[in-house]
Structure 1
Amino acid sequence: MAIISSKDTIGLIHAPLGRDAQIAASLLREVGVTPTVAPDLASFVASLSDDVVFAIITEETLRSSDLRAMSAWIEAQPSWSDLPFIIMTNRGGGAERNPGASRLSEILGNVSLIERPFHVTTFVSVARSALRGRRRQYEARLRIEALDEGERRLQTAMEAGRLGAWELDLATKELFTSPTCRRIFGRGSDDNFTYLDLLDSIHPDDIARVQEAIDVTVATGADYSTEYRTIWQDGSIHWAEIHAQLYRDRSGTAIKLVGVSADVTARMKAEEHQRQLNEILEERVAERTLELEEAHAAVMAEVSQRERAEEQLRHAQKMEAIGQLTGGVAHDFNNLLMAVLGNLELLRKHVGDDAKAARLIEGAQQGAQRGASLTQRLLAFARRQDLKIGPVDLGALVLGMEDLLRRSVGSAIRIQSSLPDRLPLVSADSNQVELALLNLAVNARDAMPDGGAISIGLKEMQQLSKTDTLAAGHYVVLSVVDQGHGMNEDTLQKAIEPFFSTKELGKGTGLGLSMIHGLALQLKGDLRLTSAIGKGTTAELWIPVSTTAISLEALDPTPASEERALSPKKILLVDDDVLIAMSSADMLSDLGHEVTEAHSGREALEYLGNGNGFDLMITDYSMPGMTGAELAKAVREITPNLPILIASGYAELPPDADLDVARLGKPYTQTQLATEISKLIATDQP
């Protein structure tokens, strides 16, 4: 990995007597180092910097000079830096032959001696050795900076998730806590909070269980995970959730616990309330059951059915709550990725022929796009992803994916397909269905580590009556069947929950089946799983038959952006997030448009009221004070014919946002932005 280029390799020289400076400068140029000659010691010290790869100086210059300024600069170097000094001396050797060398080493630190007269090869060798050492220091600087950046990102993520960090020294019982952690225990951000304070804050009924969990972790190395009640200084009772890992030294001795804490009071109160409701419900069911048993036994079946319905309702409520939380988090991350991807896309246009910069940007883009893919899975589970639904031929889709599926599952797995010749088209998003099929095939492969066969089938089915998960009607069922180890009933019930996975750590996100389940519900279909230990798993994706024919427009491969060249427009950009507004404005300006930024609906209306003559308004939907939908309605009162484009991370705007406006899903690329603008302007103009 190159750290410095030849134009940046600066060698600083101070050799005022004879031709030493001229010779050294000439030799440095031969090895690709740019020489900088300092005429006196003061300018030599003033020229010292982190950009200097090594310094060359004569011994006689140092022998009678005041070296305090130079020593101060050396002492002030950052931790990664140890600037190499090459000293030209009339006497080589160590401290016995050249006592002055020992003194210089104490002052300058990283010292190499060259005895005059020196051979060119010797000088070049010493210079290259010093250059290699300095390059390693620059590499260390980059690693330190990367670690610092990683710590900042981790701190931001923890603050966003309201997680408190802590660390406990097991030998000294010294406790280190973050401000968020102290607030979780009812303390101020700057309050002192010791391990004894922590123990005193734990509810007396929970202290033994907490200590037992710590002892188990120290003894076995298992992760520390527990929930307990805390008593704040005002006497109020709260709940804290704690997770931690054990760290050992090289000898295997447990030395510290490092973990995070979260305030789960609201969740525990909600669960307690739900438990109370369940207890009341169970009491009523028990009373009713007793009455029914006394009256008539073919009624017991009705009670059993009611209990199953209640359990399904509780599970549905739980999944809905998780979905709402997941969708909200994914929406916020979409906004963050919007700024990252937009800036990277523009930055890539300005790197020119810098291959390293292009490679770094490409890596950052791939990471951000993986993040965007993850948020799409989360939005799919929450049924908020942006789908492009149209008529899809599932038979052609499966046939077109056969090569990809075979490469994905490997040579140890056989793929068998059963595809009828004639099947009706379904109403779906072909890209999302392809992703779902690929996920199901990979899951099937992972369930058969010793190899086996995956059967992929399509069949037309008719749902005669409405069920809890499916409306009556015609469907095409895509099935994926494996011969793997299967799942028990408990695992099967949890399979579609987000982040639940039976795979080893690092081999699965736990989002595959939850994404497919969310996709199925969003398509008004269903995902059905059947499995048994040792008998494999069958996954069925039910997709409704399409009632829409394929239009000629859908078959036209010409992008809208190529049909008509778009002249520069005057655009009003509205987004309360300054980072996203800046990124979007840069993309629009790069396309040649004149952009005016507004950071609230009120500010946007002021610009429009001043008669600026905008050609188009692009606005975010989720803004405090005035949403994008409310702004669009207000704009319609001022300039009824102004084209409006609303950007949102959600698949659908709320019902109250019933507006005749164009919509762009986040995160979007510059190309997608240009295409939507072109469509909107083309539609608005004759």
Structure 2
Amino acid sequence: MAAIPNRDAFGLVYAPNGRDAQIALSLLGEAGTNAKAVGDLTSFVASLSDDVAFAVVTEEALRSADLRAVSIWIEKQPSWSDLPFIVLTSRGGGPERNPAAARLSEVLGNVSFVERPFHATTFISVARSALRGRRRQYEARLRMEALDEGERRLQTALEAGRLGAWELDLATEILTTSTTCKAIFGRGANEPFTYADLLSSIHPDDQERMQAAVRATVETGADYSIEYRTVWRDGSTHWAEIRAQLYKDRSGTAVKLVGVSADITARMQAEENQRRLNEILEQRVAERTHELQEAHANVMAEVSQRERAEDQLRQSQKMEAIGQLTGGVAHDFNNLLMAVMGNLEMLERHVGDDSRAKRLIDGALQGARRGASLTQRLLAFSRRQDLKIEPVALPGLVRGMEDMLRRSVGSSIQIEADLPENLPSVSADANQVELALLNLAVNARDAMPGGGTIRIQLRQGDVPFTTDQLSAGKYVVMSVADQGHGMDEETLKKAVEPFFSTKELGKGTGLGLSMIHGLAIQLNGHLSLTSTIGIGTTAELWIPVSETTADTETPERKTDTRAVAATGPKRILLVDDDILIAMSSVDMLMDLGHDVVEAHSGEEALECLRDGPAVDLMITDYSMPGMNGGDLVKAARTISPTLPVLIASGYAELPPGLDLDVPRLGKPYTQIQLATEIAKVLNATVD
């Protein structure tokens, strides 16, 4: 018989009289179906479970028995289950002529009758039919469990993103909301919250705009997206962002709106504070300019110079504010990706041979890794990227990327490289320069949809005296030129601004050039862009020459598996205030064979160190409320001065002035990265 999803399923036989049980077991065994027999009704009831594929019983064994226990079990079956029963009756004792047998149908429900004596083929045919039916039930259970798991993950994602879910029935105006959604409108979890309540909570100046947006969505089918103020019952004003989609029935009639809501009060307040700050700065600049004009009626040149300085100051402050914002966003996003990637990595180990599940997990991991790449761009733009500055030989770096570049730009694009060998090494982070070159090549490709040539050139550039962009000194210039559609002067001025992009929606983040610009500043270099409409664009990355020479051989980037294995199982104290991340990291550590003690705050971790068993290593998050990771390390070393410590952080670098010689593990990290860093820390301690 065909295999069923539940591999442990078996046939249960209750035929206490004669040779019926022996015959049934023999026939089922020959047909390849596991089965077992029981000798009394109590054992039969005790053996009933979800793993029973079907039950074979004799009519006379049940005719005068108390079947209440059987009936109760049948009624309590889960919604997917309807256990098949095969009832063996005597000759002429079928349900049509035997009322007692017919009554068994009422008790057992899913019943097939086989009159004795029966032919083996008949019995096996009925058994196979019952087995097929049970197999469909098991498949239904798997689908139901998958749906439940998807619902649980969706709820986790909504809670992690602090999003409230809601649904509005357009015919009845019945509003269904989650607890988070109610909280966004200032309502408690158990308080009623109707559509009329929602409308009355919207600021009077925003109500008409909100209702007009709803009507437009219902009439046109366009997505509903709006921001408006809400007034809570205590009189305080808040901001909410609402997004939804329209659902229609088969006839095309609008049925309901389904969407999410978010509290954006903090963001709106930050934007308002920034606007006020800009107004103050502009007012001060205007006042200062007026004073200068009155005091120095004669050289306009000095005033112009001061105005330029003020403009640069405003731009610097603007970029710093945006940098702080993007750095914080990247940190929080890294934390979320840590939970997602860690759980997916562990889940991948337990799917067995399920190719579809593996494909889905692999797709999710690829998406998470793309998100991690995006956070690296955000951190580079905000100048919070932790650069590993060392001598780098650019000719070897570019040659090592040629295959990747050709695959990235496609067959319609030619790449020409001019890479002189006599160039000096530069002071740079090789990984970030590779990322910058890849971004420039992809931008050049997108500028030439019909194909063309990308020219990559290296040359030495000397700056004899300090300018606004570069300090005096020697540089190596890496240029990437295309033959694309080019940019006009206005577009060229905005090209390095964050989130500015000329690409279609969804085809660019607007962070590529701003990331390279931020990298150039961190390296004490400069990014120069020149472009002509219809001719193309040239990007030049000026990088300072290093005082030492780079090793021309690129080391293989492999994990030292021997170092990982050499550490052996350890007792590790894991400290993280985020439950999702803690769960993921604990699973990875336990999967590596370590014994894990979990703490969710600095105070709890110190308590474990004081009162609990000794630990071999402490891994702690840096950003935690109350006592951060740096404070925890200092306090922990007063308890255990030689305790090895590893700090994990969603920021790319730890704050300056921390004054701790502690290795750092950037989030999100994979299990092998975690194992490698643990091995480095413990091996360094042994050495």
User: Which TM-score applies when normalising by structure 1?
Assistant: 0.80
Q: Does 1:188 align with 2:185?
A: no
C-alpha deviations, 1:352-373, integer Å up to 9, x for none? xx94389968975884575355
State the match for 1:246 in structure 2: 246
What's the offset of the Cα at 1:68? 5.3
Aligned length in residues: 678
Hey, what does 1:382 align to over in structure 2? 379
Shift of 1:256: 0.9
- Spell out the pairing of 1:566-577 with structure 2 (5 A cutoff): 573=573, 575-577=575-577
Bigger mean CA deviation after superposition, 627-636 or 152-161: 627-636
List per-residue Cα deviations over 1:78-109 (Å, max 9, x = no partner). Answer: 33333334444568999989999987666655
In 2 relative to 1, CA 173–624 (structure 1 residues): closer, same or farther, beyond 3 Å?
closer
Residue 416 of structure 1 aligns to a residue whose secondary structure is: strand
Q: Identify if the C-alpha distance between structure 1 residues 635 and 61 changes in structure 2 by more than 3 Å, giving closer, same or farther.
A: closer
Q: Which residue of 2 aligns with 1:656?
A: 657
Cα distance in 2 between the residues matched to 1:11 and 1:122: 17
User: CA 1:563–1:371 in 2, change beyond 3 Å: closer, same or farther?
Assistant: closer
Contact 1:341 1:669 in 2 (8 A): no
How far 1:410 sits from its partner (Å)? 3.3
Partners of 1:139 and 1:22 in 2: CA distance: 31
CA shift in 2, pair 1:135/1:624, >3 Å: same
My pick for the range that moved more, 197-206 or 11-20, is: 11-20
User: CA distance change for structure 1 residues 307 and 90 in 2, over 3 Å: closer, same or farther?
Assistant: farther
Distance 2:76 2:476 in 1: 72
Residue 192 of structure 1, CA deviation: 0.9
Q: Which residue of 2 aligns with 1:37?
A: 37
Provide the C-alpha distance between the structure 1 equivalents of 2:427 and 2:128, rounded to a whole number of angstroms.
67
| Equivalent-residue separation in structure 2 for 1:564 and 1:269 (angstroms) | 48
Q: Distance in 2 between matches of 1:201 and 1:617?
A: 49
**One-letter amino acid of the structure 2 residue matched with residue 657 of structure 1:** L
Report if the CA contact (8 A) 1:601-1:627 is conserved: yes
Q: Does 1:328 align with 2:352?
A: no
- CA distance in structure 1 between the partners assigned to 2:172 and 2:442 by the alignment: 49
Q: Which moved more, 1:253-262 or 1:23-32?
A: 23-32
Structure 1 residue identity aligned to 2:34 = T
- CA shift, 1:214, in A, is 1.1
Higher alpha-carbon deviation: 368-377 or 162-171: 368-377
CA contact (8 A) 1:342 1:583 kept: no
Give distance in 1, aligned partners of 2:656 and 2:283.
40
Distance 1:559 1:305, change over 3 A: closer
Amino acid at match of 1:382: L
Displacement of 1:553 in angstroms is 11
Q: Is the 8 A contact 1:560 1:679 kept in 2?
A: no
Letter matched to residue 401 of structure 2: M
CA deviation map 1:140-164 (0-9, x unaligned): 3233223322322322332233222
Q: 1:642 to 1:40 in 2, by over 3 A?
A: closer
Distance in 1 (CA, whole Å) between partners of 2:448 and 2:625 is 51
In structure 2, C-alpha distance between the alignment counterparts of 1:26 and 1:669, rounded to whole Å: 53
Q: 1:106 to 1:639 in 2, by over 3 A?
A: closer
- The DSSP-based 3-state class of the residue aligned with 2:657 is coil
Counterpart contact for 1:240–1:263, Cα < 8 Å: yes
Q: Is the 8 A contact 1:428 1:543 kept in 2?
A: yes
Per the TM alignment, residue 257 of structure 1 is displaced from its structure 2 partner at its CA by 0.9
The structural deviation recorded for 1:213 is 1.0
| Partner-residue secondary structure (3-state), 1:146 | helix
Distance 2:360 2:502 in 1: 28
CA displacement at 1:205 relative to structure 2 = 1.9
Match of 1:161 in 2: 161
- 2-structure distance, mates of 1:329, 1:270: 17
1:83 corresponds to: 83
Distance 1:233 1:571, change over 3 A: closer
Range moving further from structure 2, 414-423 or 191-200: 414-423
Could you tell me how far 1:268 is from its partner in structure 2?
Answer: 2.4
CA contact (8 A) 1:392 1:427 kept: yes
Q: Give the secondary-structure state (helix, strand or coil) at the position aligned to 1:205.
A: helix
For the residue of structure 1 that corresponds to 2:245, the secondary structure is: strand
Secondary structure of 1:245's aligned partner: strand
Structure 2: runs of 5 or more not aligned? none
Of 99-108 and 234-243, more deviation after overlay is shown by 99-108
CA distance in structure 2 between the partners assigned to 1:534 and 1:408 by the alignment: 23
Please list, as runs of the form range in 1=range in 2, the aligned pairs for 1:337-356 lying within 5 A after superposition. Answer: 340=343, 348=349, 355-356=352-353
Distance 1:106 1:453 in 2: 80
- Counterpart Cα distance in 2 of 1:15 and 1:512: 75
CA distance in 2 between partners of 1:176 and 1:382 (Å): 39
Q: Distance in 1 between matches of 2:128 and 2:105?
A: 20
The one-letter amino acid of 2:414's match is: R
> Residue deviations 1:107-129, cap 9 Å, x none?
65545555655554454444444
Please, which moves more after superposition, 591-600 or 14-23?
591-600
Distance 2:79 2:263 in 1: 38
Per mean C-alpha deviation after superposition, the further-off stretch among 163-172 and 305-314 is 305-314
What is the CA-CA distance between 1:171 and the residue it aligns to? 1.1
Which SS does the other structure have where 2:225 is aligned?
A: strand
Kept in 1, the 8 Å contact 2:327–2:651? The answer is no
Q: In structure 2, what is the equivalent of residue 232 of structure 1?
A: 232
The answer for the alignment partner of 1:259 in structure 2 is 259
CA contact (8 A) 2:86 2:114 kept: yes
1:602-623 CA-partner distances (Å, limit 9, x unpaired): 5665676789887665544334
- Per the alignment, do residues 519 and 247 of structure 1 end up closer, same or farther by CA in structure 2, a change over 3 Å counting? farther
Which whole-Å CA distance do the structure 1 matches of 2:146 and 2:524 have between them? 46
- What is the aligned-residue identity percentage? 62
Give the AA of the match of 1:187.
R
CA distance in structure 2 between the aligned counterparts of 1:75 and 1:648, rounded to whole angstroms? 53
Alpha-carbon offset, residue 330 of structure 1: 3.0
CA distance in 1, matches of 2:47, 2:558: 60
By how many angstroms is 1:386 displaced?
Answer: 4.8
| Residues 433/48 of structure 1: CA separation in 2 closer, same or farther (3 Å cut) | farther
Distance 2:599 2:336 in 1: 22
Q: Would you say the 8 A contact 1:572–1:598 is kept in 2?
A: no
Using the alignment, how far apart are the partners of 1:111 and 1:167 within structure 2? 43
For residue 44 of structure 2, what is the amino acid of its counterpart? F
Residue 275 of structure 1 aligns to which amino acid in structure 2? R
Which stretch has the larger CA shift, 334-343 or 318-327? 334-343
User: What CA distance in whole angstroms lies between the structure 1 residues aligned with 2:261 and 2:172?
Assistant: 21
Give, in whole Å, the separation in 2 of the partners of 1:465 and 1:95: 106
When the two structures are superposed, what TM-score results if normalisation uses the length of structure 2?
0.80
Trace 1:49-68 onto structure 2 (pairs within 5 A). 49-58=49-58
Cα RMSD after superposing both structures: 4.8
1:275 paired to 2:275: yes
SS of the residue corresponding to residue 162 of structure 1 reads coil
Distance 1:440 1:31, change over 3 A: farther
1:316 correspondence with 2:319: yes
Distance 1:440 1:293 in 2: 45
Q: Report SS of the residue matched to 2:242.
A: strand
Unpaired segments ≥5 residues, structure 1: none
Q: Against the structure 1 CA distance between its residues 98 and 590, is the aligned structure 2 distance closer, same or farther, given a 3 Å change threshold?
A: closer
Residues 98 and 491 of structure 1, relative CA distance in 2, 3 Å threshold: farther
Partners of 1:486 and 1:92 lie apart in 2 by: 92
How far 1:316 moved relative to its partner? 1.2
Alignment of 1:53-132 (within 5 A): 53-58=53-58, 69-88=69-88, 108-112=108-112, 114=114, 118-132=118-132
Deviations 1:197-242 (A, max 9, x none): 1111222222111111111111221111111122222222222211
SS of 1:251's partner is coil
| Contact 1:456–1:479 under 8 Å retained in 2 | yes
2:216 maps to what in 1? 216
Change in 2 beyond 3 A, CA 1:395/1:237: same
Secondary structure of the corresponding residue to residue 573 of structure 2: strand
Partner of 1:621: 622
Asked if 1:665 is matched to 2:662, the reply is no
**Structure 1 residue matching 2:353: 3-state secondary structure:** helix
Pick closer, same or farther for the CA change 1:56–1:643 going to 2, 3 Å: closer
Distance 2:624 2:250 in 1: 53
Q: Report the CA distance shift for 1:41/1:581 in structure 2 as closer, same or farther (over 3 A).
A: same
Shift of 1:33: 2.4
1:403-442 aligned within 5 A = 403-442=403-442
- For the Cα contact (< 8 Å) 1:372–1:667, is it kept in 2? no
Letter in 2 for 1:323: T
2:315 counterpart letter in structure 1: Q
Letter paired with 2:378: F
